[in-house]
Structure formats: C-alpha cells, structure tokens
Structure 1
Amino acid sequence: MKDKKRVLLVLRRMGMGGIEQATRTLAKALQSAGHEAHLLVLKGEVSSADRETCRLHQYDVDRESRQGLGRFIHLADKTLLSPLIKQSGFVWRGRRCSIAFKDYVAALEAQHGRFDLILIRGQGAFENLWAFDDERTWRVVEAVTGRFPNTAKGRWLTRTLYQGKQLLHVSRGVQQEVGDYLDRQGVEVTRSELLYNAVPIEDIRRKATESAEPAISCPYLVHVARLVPVKNQQRLLKAYHQAVNQGLDHDLVIIGDGSERRHLEEMTLELGLAARVHFLGQRDNPYPWMRDATALVLSSDFEGLGIVLVEALALGTQCVACKVPGGISEVLTGTQARLLAEPSDTGLAEKILEAVQDPVVIDENMIKVFEPRSVIAQLMALTEAPSERLYAHPA
C-alpha cells in the first residue's frame, strides 16, 4: 500500500467501556484500510480477542518507571510532594512515567519502524504521559474529566495536562466544552481538531441477525448503557412510568450493568413496573434487541458522542435522547432531531410517546460521517504537515 501508515494507540487499561470499544473499532478499521495498527496497554490484562485485533503490546509504565532512580522519585512523591500539594500526584508520576514511555516507544520503533501517529486516549493515560509529546502525538478527548478549580494551583494543574498539546475531540460539543474550560484556565493548546469515533456499521448489522435470547414477544423500547449515575436511568424509569400512565403499551428492555443496578431494580418494583421492565444485564451482542425495538431511549446527562445512537440508527431503529451537553445533537440530526427531549422526566416521556405514535424514518445519510472509511480518511490527514493556527472555538 503506497500510503500505508503506522499508528500507535495508547490506553491505560483495556476493558468494556466506550473508550476501549472505540479504540478496538479504530484499530480494526486501520488494519482493514491497509495501515499498521499497534495497541499499547499500560496496565492490567488483555483478552485473547484483543490480541487478534492488531499488534498488541503491554507495558506497565507506572511499575517500570519505579526502577532505579525512579523508585526514589516515587517515594518522594508519595511521602512528601503529593501530601504537600493536593491533587498533584499525577504531575510527579507523569514525569517519571513519560521518561519510561519514551524509552519504550523508541524500542518499539527500533523493532517495527517509526510511528506516523501516536494517539493517547483516556484521562488515566493523559495523566501518566502528560510530559510525553512530539508532533505525532494527539490526546483523544471524550469529555472534560478531572476538572480543576479556577485557582492558581488549579490553573497550574490544568496547564500541566493540556498546555501546548494537540487534542482530538470526539464531538463538536466536547470540543466547545473543553475549549471553554481551557480558556477559563488560561491554557492554550497547539491544535484542536474534531474526529468522530468510527462505528463498525456492517459488523453491527451482521451481529444483529443473531437470535435474541431471551426473546421479547411484545413491542418494546430498549436502553443500552452502563448502569451508572451519568446515564441517569432513574430519569428513564420515571419517564417510562409517566408514558405508561398515558397509555404506552410497550415494555422496556434495559441492557447493561453497573453500580446502579440494584437501586434501579428496587425503583422498578416501587413504580409497579416489574412485569414490564426487563433487566438483561451486560450483553456482548445487544444488537438483536436493538434491531427489533420500536426505539432506543437514552437518558444520559452527558454523552461525548453517543455511539449507541449511531449503532441503533445503523439498524434502522429510531432514537429518543435528552438534549444535553456533548455530541448527541450531532448524531440525531434531520428528522431524528425532533425526538430530542428536554432533560426531564416529563420531557423524555413526551418524546417516548411521540416515537411510538409518530415514528421517524431513518435516513442512511445520518450515519455516513461515522463510517470507518470516513473517520480513517480524517485521521490520515493528521499525518500531513500540521497547520500553524492555534486553538479556535468551533463555529
């Protein structure tokens, strides 16, 4: 391949969250497009399935950075610096980890060749590698996490993480929010670009043809997300309860697991919905249920992008979601935009009823920007000569 590129994707851990799934998809898309993808995991175990995705590397950078002189730096951090300057632990840890990481990347390049791009993803990796940077390195930002107060110390900590960095944002909503935060903190980055997460459309459609066990025989709505506070499934259940009281004849299928599950199951009992709400837990393949649902409903307080919405649209399933910060309004465009709800129990209930009574017809063009081929083309453009402009807010 004439323009074959070598890309290093860096994560702190490999789990089942959105960041990890998006990274898996990007690695596979790079490989399919004829590029060479390397995935570097900085801590923890990696599944056998991930080992087949691309060239996989594991390097516990925190542990390795404590060797030799690094051990004394680590002890000074733990016993003196971090207790003295609260929240500063990542500063000292990141400095020594970045030195070890630089040496490890050099060793990888000696074996495999020079990387054209290095993408560092997730807050944990940002903090551990804040002092590592060069023109090939980008931080992929899903949201503003770990915000620091607008004080002298807070501004110093924010500058440590972001000053002079190149940032890739998964939505314009995230780009705007991050830009506003950095402006308030007096931080200027070198470049700020938009890169949507790639969604494996054809793979999702193939998986959706598998059988759904247990099968839900009656019409239903589906919700697919981790059961955690930011996804606000309490709002989902209250809105569903209101819609049922107004005549909704659909059941509700909830796919996912997390810290809120027990509380949500108790809440379902209290609302008298136990016979109509189905908690299916975590499913490796939720797509058969998503395909057959009347609508997918998302109740989150924030979504960096909302990949599950793209997945539902790819299956021809309309979506109801709250109009909240992040990228949801960039996914639910055109006719789908009318099913964006005000972020309240009543607002979500109204849009659930509207989706059932007056469904949206899904247009294939809604998802083209998220297809792997489109995302990879944008990513490859980053390997060209960098622009000279500094950060500017998105229009």
Structure 2
Amino acid sequence: MTLPRDAGRRVLIIVRRLNMGGIQKASLSLASGLLAGGHEVHLLVLKGTPELTVPDGVHLHCVDFERAARRTPAGLARHLASRVLLKPLLPGSGFVWTGRTVSRGFRHHLAELEATHGAFDLIVIRGQGAFELLWDVRDPRCWQVVEGPVSGPGKSPLAGWLYRKLYAGKRVISVSEGIGAMLDATLARHGVAPAQRRTLTNPVPLGRIRELAQAPLPDAPPTPYLIHVGRLSSVKNQALLLRAFAAADLPLSLVIIGDGDRRQSLTRLCETLGIAERVHFLGQQTNPYPWVARAQAFVLSSRMEGLGLVLIEALALGTQCVATDVPGGIREVLTGEQARLIAEPSVEGLAEKLREAWTHPVTVDPAWAERFDEPRVAEAFLGLLDDARLEDPADDDPAHAPA
C-alpha cells in the first residue's frame, strides 16, 4: 500500500531529554522539516525540563513516567526491588526494570494522546537513552534511531539477553551506513536480529544556519583561523587536534567553541605545546555559525562520529573541512574533492591535512550539504509509511532485509 504524500500525517518524535546535543538538535530539525511539509508533529520528552526552544506549531509533551510511577506504593516497591535486588544480581539490567514501568506508562499516555489528537502514523524514538526507557513498547509504527555505536551490555554474560530486549524484532534506523554496519556486527555477534534496518541521515536546517551566520562576529581572532566546534571530551579528541595544530606550524590561530570536562587539561596542553597564545577557547556559544563561516577550515578530530552534523553545517556555509578517518559517517559526508582532506587519525596525519587545507584549499560544492536539508530528510522519513509491512508487524520479508 502506498500512502499519498499530499495528505498531512501525524508524527510523534520521542527523546529522553531536550538539552544541548546532536540527538536533540536533529530531533528538532526533523520536527521543523515535517511541519514545513504540512504535517502534525508531537514531541515527547521523557526526562527533565526542555533546554532548547521547540519550533512553533510542535505539540510538546513532557512526561516523566518513571517518576510518576514511583508516586504510587506499588510503583515505589518495584523501583526499590529493581535497584536493591535485580540490578546488582543482573549487572547491566537496570534499564530492563525501569523500561518496563516506563513502557507501561507510555502506552497509557499514547492512548490518551490519540483519543485527543487522532492516531499517529509514525513514531520515531531517537537515541539509545530513549529506547532503553521504551524497550517494552512493540508498536509497528515505531522506529528506533541509532545515532552512534551501541553502548551498554558489552561483554556482560547477559549481553545477548539485553540486546534482544533493545533490538530484537524492532524497526531500526541508523544515521549513517557506518553506524549501521557497526550495529549489524554487534547484534550478529549476539544472535540478535531487528525486524528491519534502514539508513536515514539526520536533517540539517541549512537555510536557518546560513541566516544565523550573517550575524556580526563579536570576537574575531587577530589572524586567519581554523575552527572546531564540539563538546570538550575524550570522544571528540581535542588533544589530538592541539598536537596536530602545533605540529602543522601554520600562520593561523585556532578557535575552539564548546565546553566540557576536558577544558582545563586542554588549556594546560596548549601551554605545554607552546601554542596558548594562538588557541582561543570561546566556551559554549548559542550561535557558532559566524565563526564557522569565516574560518579557513573546520577541523574535526573525533575518535568516532555517528554522522558529523558539524561537518554538514560547515559545508553549508562554504567552509572546507578537515576530519579524521574514523568509524561512523564522516566518509558519507565528506565526498568528492572534500574527501582528500580526510586525515589519518594521528598527529602527523592530521597536521599534514591541515597544511594541505592551507596551501591547496578545497572549493566547497553547495550540493554536498543540500542532500541533508530538512525537507529532504523529512520526506525520507515519511517514506517509511510507504512500507506495507507497517500494516502487519509479522509480515517481514527476509528478501528485503539489509545486507
């Protein structure tokens, strides 16, 4: 059955929290893209108070099902039993007991939402934190979006059982083929098979980013500069970036936007490397795009990237990118001539590509970013509705399973 695209659809997007992060930004971009297409969008936040602004027109619901359950005597007893007995006896299983309670509360809430607004055509659960809380929900309209490498069970003797709770028989979306391949390999090792897996990239609001980039630059460094935007953390590996920047010995400054628990150690490393006067830590910025648009190159030194949203944003602003060749989606973003600035993930490998970006810069093709624009990706998500198997969760044809 093919559903007409001109009819407005009702979509529910679910996140664990709505704070500053890639999953959250991508969720809001998907909501915006769907709204622009004339669809009704609901956003359900499972924990905490939203820190990001939700687009006008999105129906926002914030419900902490776990906390609500603990307010009842039976719910509190189950919570204490899981923490005191089950979690220590079965390491790694904490989400199983929490998720069972949350899933029950979600099903009741979903019924209330649909009684008020009408049935949802598509339910998108974004990020492992969210589908750990909702692992016991088995609805053929649900798709779980995997944003990065699967974490959690690891080498636990219970790993197979835990992975089955999260993925067996579920419909799964990976944000890049690289992440999808990693997920496939992990699940195969434990004999776990999802019902379906698709790859759909994260959406990026290209028009909005270009508009924000026109803002005045408040603190421009005194020389041409390289730019890095990201959480200051081990996975983003800014230590490698600083060492490569020092080794490249270019007549440039380095601007780093973002904050995190590594800031002090990175500041000390700059002093050790003798580059403290050329490295500018600007902290978290609500609008980093004026700096990105005016940079000589955007540099990403991560150990892993699910997709690389910051690379897409830089390309949208016409800024060439240098990035480490690591697992995930980097090679799916940096294509064409841009691929020549993908670096071996070592000090000299990254330093060499920094020099190349300075002496032989890449001219950015706008088409490299356009394929990730909000409306295109939103349309791709609606394409999930064309799958007749959504009508019957048992009708999974192995001939259409991902390779």
* 1:198 alignment partner in structure 2: 203
Q: After alignment, is 41-50 or 108-117 more displaced?
A: 41-50
Cα distance in 2 for partners of 1:355, 1:51 equals: 37
SS at match of 1:50: coil
Q: 2:388 and 2:179 mapped to 1: Cα distance? A: 22
- The one-letter code of the counterpart of 1:136 is R
Question: What is the aligned partner in structure 1 of residue 397 from structure 2?
Answer: 389
Q: Verify the 8 A CA contact 2:150 2:183 in the aligned structure 1.
A: no
Q: Does 1:174 align with 2:176?
A: no
CA separation of 1:22/1:294 partners in 2, compared to 1, >3 Å: closer, same or farther? same
Shift, 1:151, TM fit: 5.7
The match for 1:10 is 14
Could you tell me how far apart the structure 1 residues matched to 2:152 and 2:51 are? 32
Q: What residue number does 1:271 align with?
A: 273
Residue 107 of structure 2 corresponds to residue 102 of structure 1: yes
Q: For residue 127 of structure 1, what is the aligned residue in structure 2?
A: 132
Q: 1:359 to 1:389 in 2, by over 3 A?
A: farther
Paired residue for 2:58, among 38, 54, 59?
Answer: 54
The 10-residue stretch of structure 1 (263-272 or 318-327) with the greater mean CA deviation from structure 2: 263-272
Is contact 1:27–1:53 with CA below 8 Å preserved after alignment? no
Query: Secondary structure of 1:49's match?
Result: coil
How far, CA to CA, are the matches of 1:203 and 1:48 in structure 2? 16
Aligned-pair distance for 1:48?
Answer: 7.2
- Displacement, 1:152? 4.4
Give the conservation status (yes or no) of the 8 Å contact 2:8–2:40: yes
Query: Residue type matched to 2:104 in 1?
Result: I
Match of 1:376 in 2: 378
Question: Which of 362, 365, 381 is the aligned partner of 1:363?
Answer: 365
| 1:105-148 Cα deviation digits (max 9, x unpaired) | 11111111111111111222111110012110011101123242
CA deviation vs aligned residue, 1:156-183 (integer Å, no higher than 9, x gap): 1111111111101100000000001000
Question: Offset of 1:81 from its aligned partner?
Answer: 1.1
Distance, in Å, in 2 between the alignment partners of 1:181 and 1:51 is: 36
TM-score (norm 1): 0.96
Q: How does 1:110-125 map to 2 (within 5 A)?
A: 110-125=115-130
User: Are residue 64 (structure 1) and residue 73 (structure 2) matched?
Assistant: no
Q: Which runs of 4+ in 1 moved over 6 A?
A: none
**What secondary structure sits across from 2:53 in the alignment?**
helix
Are 1:297 and 1:321, in contact at CA under 8 Å, matched by a contact in 2?
Answer: yes
Residue type at the aligned position of 1:168: I
SS in 1 for 2:256: strand
Alignment-derived partner of residue 82 in structure 1: 87
Residue 380 to residue 280, structure 1, CA distance change in 2 (3 Å): same
User: Partner letter of residue 274 of structure 1?
Assistant: A
Q: Which residue of 2 aligns with 1:158?
A: 163
SS at match of 2:145: strand
> Residue 238 of structure 2 aligns with which residue?
233
Correspondence for 1:287: 289
Q: Distance in 2 between matches of 1:61 and 1:308?
A: 33
For 1:240-259, what aligned pairs fall within 5 Å after superposition? 240-244=245-249, 248-259=250-261
Q: How many angstroms apart in 2 are the aligned matches of 1:53 and 1:296?
A: 34
RMSD of aligned alpha carbons: 1.5
Please name the residue that 2:44 is paired with.
40
Which residue of structure 2 lines up, in the alignment, with residue 139 of structure 1?
Answer: 144
Three-state SS of the structure 2 residue aligned to 1:383 is helix
| Aligned partner (choices 217, 224, 242) of residue 219 of structure 1 | 224
Q: CA deviation at 1:2?
A: 4.0
Stretches of structure 1 lacking an aligned partner (at least 5 in a row):
none
| Deviation of the 1:331 alpha carbon | 0.2
Secondary structure of 1:223's aligned partner: strand
**Residue identity matched to 2:66:** D
Alpha-carbon offset, residue 79 of structure 1: 2.0
Q: Percent identity?
A: 48
Distance 1:155 1:344 in 2: 35
1:56 is aligned with what amino acid?
L
Instruction: Report the alpha carbon displacement of residue 82 of structure 1 after superposing the two structures with TM.
Output: 1.2
Q: Are the aligned partners of 2:198 and 2:402 in contact in 1 as well (CA < 8 Å)?
A: no
The offset of 1:78, in angstroms, is: 1.7
Q: Residue type matched to 1:272 in 2?
A: G
Work out whether residues 211 and 288 of structure 1, in 8 Å CA contact, stay in contact via their aligned partners in 2. Answer: yes
Whether contact under 8 Å (1:323, 1:343) holds in the other structure is yes
Rounded Cα–Cα distance in structure 2 between residues aligned with 1:48 and 1:192:
29
| Paired position in structure 1 for 2:392 | none
Closer, same or farther in 2 for the Cα pair 1:313/1:188, shift >3 Å? same
The more displaced of 255-264 and 59-68 is 59-68
SS of the residue aligned with 1:316?
Answer: coil
Deviation (angstroms), 1:367? 1.6
Question: 2:322–2:357: 8 Å Cα contact kept in structure 1?
Answer: yes
2:312: which partner in 1? 310
**Could you tell me whether the CA contact under 8 Å between 1:150 and 1:185 is conserved in 2?**
no
- The alignment partner of 1:382 has SS state of helix
Gaps of 5+ in 2: 390-395
How far is the alpha carbon of 1:75 from its aligned partner? Answer: 2.1
Partner of residue 335, structure 1 = 337
Deviation of the 1:368 alpha carbon: 2.4
Matched, 1:185 2:190: yes
| Alignment partners' CA distance in 2, 1:94 and 1:204 | 37
**Could you tell me whether the CA contact under 8 Å between 2:32 and 2:374 is conserved in 1?**
no
**Which amino acid in 2 is paired with 1:303?**
E
1:323 CA displacement: 0.5
Q: In the TM superposition, what is the alpha-carbon distance from 1:53 to its structure 2 partner?
A: 6.0
